[in-house]
Amino acid sequence: MADAEWLALACDLAALCPPSETAFSVGAVVVGPDGTELARGFSRESDPSDHAEEAALAKLGDVPPGATVYSSLEPCGARKSRPRPCAELIVAAGIRRVVFAWREPSLFVEGTGDEYLRAHGVEVVELPALADRARHPNAHLLGRP
């Protein structure tokens, strides 16, 4: 599958999130260098504080070099619920490529994940054509249906 297809899957996973008034609904997929899905996750999947990338990465042991994380929302660079933001977890896992659809709005924290990832040598690709799809499960937070 191409980047847009994997990212569309991540956006679909965001719809599985239990709604929250204090956090975004996000989906994430980790794909190996050979194009196979390694793991997937979504916000609040097994814990009210889970972020999508965190949930997906927790399902993996070692991440093969060349893996990509697809996330409906820019991975967080700061968070209130846990000490390590998703951007830091991605770098620590050795992932060198991230593709996301929607830049994190400054509703809960400043969206700095893109900058953190780039500063640590991660290739970051934004596909804004899927941003509306990523925003859809978060409409209640954004003040629109």
d(CA 25, CA 51): 8
Strand arrangement, sheet containing 68-73: 37-42, 27-31, 68-73, 97-102, 123-126
- Residue 86, CA distances (Å) to 18, 28, 35, 73, 74 in order: 19, 11, 22, 11, 9
* Run of H or E residues at 99: strand 97-102
5 is catalytic: no
Exposure on the CB side of residue 100, measured as CA atoms within 13 A: 25
Phi-psi region of 44 (alpha: psi -120 to 50; beta: other; left: phi over 0): left
Catalytic residue among 5, 37, 45, 53: 53
Residues assigned a catalytic role = 53
